[in-house]
Amino acid sequence: MTSMTVALPLANPPSPAAALVAGVDTHKDTHHVAILDHVGRPVADREFRADGRGYAQIITFLRDHGDIDRVGVEGTGSYGAGLSRALNATGFTVVEVARHDRQARRRRGKSDPLDAHQAAVTVLAGTDTAVPKSGDGAVESLRILIGERRSAAKARAQVMNQIHALLITAPELVRQAFRALTGQRLVNTLARTRPGTGGSSDPEVISRQTLKRLAVRHLSMQAEIDIIERQLDALVRQVNPTLLSLSGVGPVTAATLLVAAGDNPERLATRATFAALTGVAPIPASSGQRTRHRLSRGGNRHANAALHRIVLLRMRHREPRTKAYFERRRAEGLTNRDVMRCLKRHISNEIYAALLNPATDNPAGRELRAQRQRIGIPISILAMTLGVPYQRLRRLEIGTRADPDLEQRATLALARLTPPPDA
């Protein structure tokens, strides 16, 4: 009688071809790629140039070693942006890998092969990873324009600071000539002055010449910002006009929020994910029997500032829902700062819904305008009757703002002013 031996399953079975993962350590000039199997054993690693030819070689290298399940790339928004686009275009699943913990780096050491290997291990473990922005659509254009606008606005503010600083120390005759002027009026006046172009060494003449050049530079920066904002407005209306229909959201704010979400906002699975991205989700800080949360100082700070601007505008214009919420939470004992933080979280949820549903139409505004024109009432008269600024009513009619309270009041006012039909 022959005995039969039962083959027990291996604790670490050989890696199937479909279980490979890759990690990429990205730099300005080179990218290092490491491939691991499903239990983290090294399969291959190699360094490539960080250009179009190098991207093609990386894709070939990955395909030559089997079916790669996921590719973890460091810095998908900087040095790894080009590689991420190339990998996405060829069908690879790209995962954004966070920078490694510094303590772990000190313990294990640091090199490009080690960092690429650790990136692949992170993908395998599923920790500190995220779906990267695709960066291949109109939102990428918005990101470029927003960056340009920020630098232009910073230069404009710096020029204005220089003008004020020079007027403080300039000779008395120069100070006296422009003492009563401020803001844009000061800039326009300085730009129209004629201090002469001679090679005088008189501090008064030099001060006037410098002030004129600074004013011209300020006007140049303002003209550049105006051009950028017109482009932003057109692109936002193309990508997601729903955002512009929300109260307190203008082209720059909408573009900032769109850039934070990326060309693929569906990568943000829940409202809580978007709230964490914008820094309005409190962070648990509990210990033992004490349960508490602390304010998040992370996330996209530009998006957080955009949400803060929306809150301020809604409070300034006394938007009905914001006003009612603010009064209710103040009655519950919350401070103004705490109420604003709660409002930012609510607005974050509203923005998240608009990001996932970009289609918009405002038939109510068009109907309101048609009714007003049918009975022959100028928009300025209707705005005066309602006690609101003319531009606020105009934005409601053309569909760039949603204002249910104003819409209801305007409809009732027009109903009272509509003449009865002829007998």
Dig out the tokens for 421 from the structure. 């039909």
Q: What is 363-417's CATH superfamily?
A: lambda repressor-like DNA-binding domains (1.10.260.40)
pLDDT at residue 235, as a whole number: 93
At 418 the pLDDT is: 64
- Euclidean distance between the first and final Cα of the chain, in Å? 113
The answer to whether residue 2 scores a pLDDT higher than 50 is no
CA distance to 46, 114, 201, 237, 398, per residue, from 243 (Å): 45, 44, 55, 9, 15
Q: Among 60-74, 87-101, 268-282, 360-374, which stretch is predicted with the lowest mean pLDDT?
A: 360-374
- The predicted model gives 131-141 an average pLDDT of 87
Position 263 pLDDT exceeds 60: yes
How distant, in Å, are the alpha carbons of 93, 316, 343 from that of 322?
42, 10, 8
Averaged pLDDT, 335-361: 87
pLDDT at residue 253 is higher than 60 = yes
Q: Would you state the CATH architecture of domain 17-130?
A: 2-Layer Sandwich (3.30)
Q: What pLDDT score was predicted for residue 157?
A: 96
For residue 128, name the pLDDT band (cuts at 50, 70, 90). Answer: confident
Closest CA to 30 of 12, 44, 50: 50
33 — pLDDT class (breaks 50, 70, 90):
very high
pLDDT at 363: 60
Q: What is the DSSP string of 386-410?
A: HTS-HHHHHHHHHTS---HHHHHHH
The average confidence (pLDDT) of the chain is 86
Residues in the chain: 423
Q: Which residues of 330-362 are buried (b: 16+ CB within 10 A; e: fewer)?
A: eeeeeeeeebbbebbbbbbebbbebbeeeebeb
Q: Give the pLDDT confidence score for residue 153 in this predicted structure.
A: 96
Per-domain residue ranges of the chain: 17-130, 138-239, 251-356, 363-417
Kindly report the pTM of this predicted structure. Answer: 0.77
Judge whether residue 5 has pLDDT over 50: no
pLDDT digits (tens, 9 = 90+) for 68-123: 989 999 989 899 999 999 998 898 999 999 877 676 667 777 889 999 999 999 99
The pLDDT of residue 258 is above 90: yes
> What is the reported pLDDT for 104?
67
What is the pLDDT confidence band of residue 399, given thresholds at 50, 70 and 90? low
Q: Cα–Cα distance between 267 and 272 in angstroms, integer?
A: 12
Check whether 1 has a pLDDT greater than 50. no
Query: 3-state DSSP: the chain helix, strand, coil percent, rounded to 5?
Result: 60, 10, 30
User: Residues 160-182: pLDDT tens digits?
Assistant: 999 999 999 999 999 999 988 98
pLDDT for residue 6:
40
